[in-house]
Chains A and B, each alone.
Chain A
Amino acid sequence: MSLLKGINLGYQIDDISILKAIDIEVKAGEMVGLIGPNGAGKSTLLRLLTCVEKPGWGEIFYGDNNVDQISVEERAKHIGYLVQGAKAYWPFSVEKTVGLGRIPHQKWWQHSSREDQEKIQRAMEITETLAYRNRIVSTLSGGEQTLVMLARIFATDPQIIFADEPVAALDPYHQLHVMEILRNHSRDDRAAVVVLHDLSLAARFCDRLYIINHGCLYGSGAPDEIMTAENIAEVYGVKARITCDAEGVSVAPVSRLGEHHP
Chain B
Amino acid sequence: MTFMSIPDRVLLAGLGIVLSVVFYVALMVGPVNIGIGKAVMDFLAEESSMDSLILFDIRLPRALLAMIIGATLGLAGAALQGLLRNPLAEPGIIGVSNSAAFGAVLVFYFGYSNFAWFALPLGGLLGALASVVIIFALVGNSKSVVTLILAGVAINAIGGALIALALNFAPNPYAMQEIVFWLLGSVANRSMNELLIALPFVLVGWGLILYCGRFLNALTLGEETAISMGFEVRRLRWILVIGVAACVGASVSVAGNIGFIGLVVPHLIRPFVGSEPRRLLLASTLGGAILLLVADIAVQLLSSGGELKLGVITSLVGGPFFLFLILKTRNLML
Same complex: yes
Q: Which A residues fall within an 8 A CB radius of B?
A: 47, 50-52, 72-73, 75-77, 79-81, 83, 86-93, 96-97, 100, 103-104, 106, 108, 111, 134, 136, 149, 152, 156, 162
| A92–B276 touching, CB < 8 Å | yes
Measured CB to CB, the closest approach of chain B to A86, in angstroms, equals 7
Chain A residues in 8 Å Cβ range of B3: 91, 93, 134, 136
- Known A-B contacts A52-B227, A72-B230; the reply to A89 vs B222 at CB < 8 A is yes
Chain B residues in 8 Å Cβ range of A72: 230-232
A sample of 5 inter-chain contacts (CB < 8 A) reads A52-B227, A103-B218, A103-B229, A104-B229, A156-B229
Chain A residues in 8 Å Cβ range of B221: 83, 86-89, 97, 100, 149, 152
| A52–B230 touching, CB < 8 Å | no
Chain A residues in 8 Å Cβ range of B230: 72-73, 75-77, 103-104
Interface size on B, residues (CB 8 A): 27
Chain B residues in 8 Å Cβ range of A90: 85, 220, 270, 275-277
| B275–A91 touching, CB < 8 Å | yes
Binding-face segment, B11-19, B196-204, B209-217: B209-217
B225-250: contact bitstring with A at CB < 8 Å (1 yes, 0 no)?
A: 10111111000000000000000000
| B228–A50 touching, CB < 8 Å | yes
| A79–B276 touching, CB < 8 Å | no
Tell me, in angstroms, the Cα distance from A93 to B230 when the chains sit together: 23
| A81–B225 touching, CB < 8 Å | yes
Chain B residues in 8 Å Cβ range of A91: 1, 3, 275
| A51–B214 touching, CB < 8 Å | no
Give the contacting residue for A92; candidates B225, B232, B275; CB below 8 A: B275
Tell me, in angstroms, the Cα distance from A96 to B274 when the chains sit together: 8
State whether the Cβ of B49 lies closer than 8 Å to any Cβ in chain A.
no
Chain A residues in 8 Å Cβ range of B275: 90-92, 96
List B233-281 residues whose CB lies under 8 Å from chain A.
270, 274-277
| A92–B220 touching, CB < 8 Å | yes
In addition to A50-B228, A106-B214, 8 A-B residue pairs with Cβ atoms within 8 Å of each other are A89-B220, A90-B270, A90-B275, A96-B274, A96-B275, A96-B276, A104-B229, A108-B211
Q: 3 closest A-B pairs (Cβ-Cβ)?
A: A76-B230, A81-B228, A90-B275
| A86–B218 touching, CB < 8 Å | no
Chain A residues in 8 Å Cβ range of B8: 111
Measured CB to CB, the closest approach of chain B to A161, in angstroms, equals 11
Q: How many interface contacts (CB-CB < 8 Å) are there between A and B?
A: 83
B277-311: contact bitstring with A at CB < 8 Å (1 yes, 0 no)?
A: 10000000000000000000000000000000000
Measured CB to CB, the closest approach of chain A to B292, in angstroms, equals 25
List B1-31 residues whose CB lies under 8 Å from chain A.
1, 3, 5, 8
Measured CB to CB, the closest approach of chain A to B53, in angstroms, equals 42
Chain A residues in 8 Å Cβ range of B47: none
Tell me, in angstroms, the Cα distance from A73 to B229 when the chains sit together: 8
State whether the Cβ of B224 lies closer than 8 Å to any Cβ in chain A.
yes
* Interface-centre pick from B3, B5, B85, B224 (highest chain A CB count, 10 A): B224
* Interface-centre pick from B224, B230, B274 (highest chain A CB count, 10 A): B230
| A103–B214 touching, CB < 8 Å | yes
- Known A-B contacts A73-B230, A86-B225; the reply to A93 vs B220 at CB < 8 A is no
Chain B residues in 8 Å Cβ range of A76: 228-230
Measured CB to CB, the closest approach of chain B to A149, in angstroms, equals 8
Measured CB to CB, the closest approach of chain A to B237, in angstroms, equals 15
Chain B residue at smallest Cβ distance from A77: B230
Tell me, in angstroms, the Cα distance from A88 to B214 when the chains sit together: 15
Chain B residue at smallest Cβ distance from A156: B229
Chain A residue at smallest Cβ distance from B332: A138
Tell me, in angstroms, the Cα distance from A77 to B230 when the chains sit together: 8
Chain A residues in 8 Å Cβ range of B227: 51-52
Tell me, in angstroms, the Cα distance from A83 to B226 when the chains sit together: 11
| A100–B5 touching, CB < 8 Å | no
- Known A-B contacts A79-B228, A81-B225; the reply to A100 vs B85 at CB < 8 A is no
Chain A residues in 8 Å Cβ range of B224: 47, 52, 81, 83
| B228–A92 touching, CB < 8 Å | no
Chain A residue at smallest Cβ distance from B277: A90
| A51–B228 touching, CB < 8 Å | yes
Chain B residues in 8 Å Cβ range of A92: 220, 274-276
| A52–B277 touching, CB < 8 Å | no
Tell me, in angstroms, the Cα distance from A103 to B230 when the chains sit together: 9
* Interface-centre pick from B211, B225, B276 (highest chain A CB count, 10 A): B225
Chain B residue at smallest Cβ distance from A52: B227
Tell me, in angstroms, the Cα distance from A93 to B274 when the chains sit together: 7
- Known A-B contacts A93-B3, A96-B276, A136-B3; the reply to A103 vs B217 at CB < 8 A is yes
Tell me, in angstroms, the Cα distance from A52 to B225 when the chains sit together: 8
Chain A residues in 8 Å Cβ range of B277: 90
Give the contacting residue for A93; candidates B5, B85, B217; CB below 8 A: B5
Chain A residues in 8 Å Cβ range of B270: 90
Tell me, in angstroms, the Cα distance from A100 to B275 when the chains sit together: 13
Tell me, in angstroms, the Cα distance from A199 to B228 when the chains sit together: 27
Tell me, in angstroms, the Cα distance from A136 to B332 when the chains sit together: 15
Measured CB to CB, the closest approach of chain B to A68, in angstroms, equals 14
| A108–B229 touching, CB < 8 Å | no
Chain B residue at smallest Cβ distance from A90: B275
